[in-house]
Chain A
Amino acid sequence: MNKIVANADTAVQDIFDGATIALGGFGVCGIPENCISALVKLGIKNLTCVSNNAGVDDFGLGLLLKNRQIKKMISSYVGENKLFEQLVLSGEIELEATPQGTLAEKLRAGGAGIPAFFTPTGAGTVVATAKEVRVYNGRNYILEESITTDFAIVKAWKGDALGNLVYRKTARNFNPIAATAGRITIAEVEELVPVGSIDPDMVHTPGIYVKRIFQGSNYEKRIENRTTRSN
């Protein structure tokens, strides 16, 4: 079995107008930089992106926003992305504001064949609007539907031809769960390693979830808030 493709352009070439895509990353940490650039080049539009954030104005998913390739975002945090905030407030793109833990569980459950689940998160808030409420042990829980997507795009530190992935530090974030939620999952890795060189006990995403894999290049790994101490 060999899931290796040449590069990002090949990996994303069949992603189509109107596709739904789950993407890994938190802020701009652990985002699939190469595939995002390839999507910009591909120019497909009306995408629905499931991603905790939408990058920053000129990096990550911010590039797709700027290019007006995204119709809808399912995200928990708009934060410092001014363009995203503007586009949502003006109604140019749709935002399904989703609590971060609910977003994570929607992807996890979706990838695990669970179509919906009850969570206490968001009970009594606008997030609960039009959702079924059930009381367990005297507490309100709301019914949240899971997410599966046409494609998932993730970034890992290391990977092999079978699609086994290892992430690094907090660049793991949403990547392992996004990887499970896509009908076609594309992984870009910093380093492709020979099959057998990853300790099976240390695999974070087992290869069964991954359809295509390639070694990315020129990672910028931008830092949003560079904070240091003096000594």
Chain B
Amino acid sequence: MALTREQMASRIAKEIQDGYYVNLGIGIPTLVANYIPKDMDVILQSENGMLGIGPFPTEDEIDPDLINAGKQTITEMPGSSYFSASDSFAMIRGGKVDLTILGAMEVDENGDIANWMIPGKMLKGMGGAMDLVAGAKHVIVVMQHVAKDGSSKILPKCTLPLTGTGVVNLIVTELAVIEVTNAGLKLLERAPCVSVEDIIKATKAKLIIPDNVKEMVV
């Protein structure tokens, strides 16, 4: 069974360590916050200028001056801080953020990532993604393994304009967990009831397959 969005988020949460400062991208990465163990001290950074993102507000708590980088209304935690965009990216570029989790259109064997435009067709802009992949200590990509047209999003070499080169550490999809190593992409885990063969078939990049690929615990 391929993982749901929620299951992918819960799997990624296992990569978070006590004491981490974490920046979560838009979409599935935002869901990861729901699966961080309660007994862990983790502080969420929002690149628009905040440390200490709290849960979504109740209807009464909504404050238009308090949003995350996805422009969603949020709340603050005790001990939060606000700062300017230049301070925010100083801490990102300066390597103070332990982990960033973001979506992608393509990733490849070199750990390159493309997630901001399709020439002539779609233009979202890179936002803070280029700075985050360049600066965060660990980079996790979460995405669907194959595109809507059935083509693999994990490639020998990205074809779309890049967001960063050699920056991705871990790829989590609905089918697999894949580590980017110096030797290439290594299959670490498979989704329940998904075979290694299914994953190889869905992956255009070359995969290093260890003897024992364990099933994900979700």
Question: In chain A between 214 and 231, which residues have their CB closer than 8 angstroms to a CB of chain B?
Answer: 221-231
Q: Are A104 and B88 in contact (CB under 8 A)?
A: yes
Q: How far apart are B205's CB and chain A's nearest CB, in angstroms? A: 18
- List residues of chain A with CB within 8 A of the CB of B48: 26-27, 29, 170, 173
Check: A7 CB closer than 8 A to any chain B CB.
Answer: no
Q: How far apart are A166's CB and chain B's nearest CB, in angstroms? A: 11
Question: In chain A between 110 and 165, which residues have their CB closer than 8 angstroms to a CB of chain B?
Answer: 119-127, 157
Q: Are A221 and B124 in contact (CB under 8 A)?
A: no
Q: Are A76 and B93 in contact (CB under 8 A)?
A: no
User: 1/0 per position for B10-51, CB-CB distance to A under 8 A?
Assistant: 000000000000000000000000000000000000111110
- List residues of chain B with CB within 8 A of the CB of A224: 67, 71-72
Check: A12 CB closer than 8 A to any chain B CB.
Answer: no
Binds B, one of A13-21, A36-44, A77-85, A191-199: A77-85
Q: Are B128 and A100 in contact (CB under 8 A)?
A: yes
Given contacts A78-B124, A227-B73, A228-B56, contact A172 B84 (CB under 8 A): yes
- List residues of chain B with CB within 8 A of the CB of A124: 112, 162, 164-166
Q: Are A99 and B46 in contact (CB under 8 A)?
A: no
Using C-beta atoms within 8 Å of the partner chain, give the interface range for chain A. 35 or more
Q: Are A27 and B71 in contact (CB under 8 A)?
A: yes
Q: How far apart are B142's CB and chain A's nearest CB, in angstroms? A: 19
Check: B123 CB closer than 8 A to any chain A CB.
Answer: yes
Q: Are A105 and B89 in contact (CB under 8 A)?
A: yes
Q: How many angstroms from the CA of A101 to the CA of B49 in the assembled complex?
A: 11
Jot down 12 A-B pairs with beta carbons below 8 A, ordered by A: A29-B65, A88-B123, A101-B89, A103-B85, A104-B86, A120-B134, A169-B66, A170-B68, A171-B65, A172-B49, A223-B64, A226-B73
Q: How many angstroms from the CA of A77 to the CA of B129 in the assembled complex?
A: 10
Check: A46 CB closer than 8 A to any chain B CB.
Answer: no
Q: Are B130 and A29 in contact (CB under 8 A)?
A: no
Check: B127 CB closer than 8 A to any chain A CB.
Answer: yes
- List residues of chain A with CB within 8 A of the CB of B49: 26, 170, 172-173
Question: In chain B between 177 and 204, which residues have their CB closer than 8 angstroms to a CB of chain A?
Answer: none
Given contacts A85-B123, A225-B73, A228-B62, contact A100 B131 (CB under 8 A): yes
Q: How many angstroms from the CA of A105 to the CA of B94 in the assembled complex?
A: 13
Q: How far apart are B146's CB and chain A's nearest CB, in angstroms? A: 24
Check: B135 CB closer than 8 A to any chain A CB.
Answer: yes
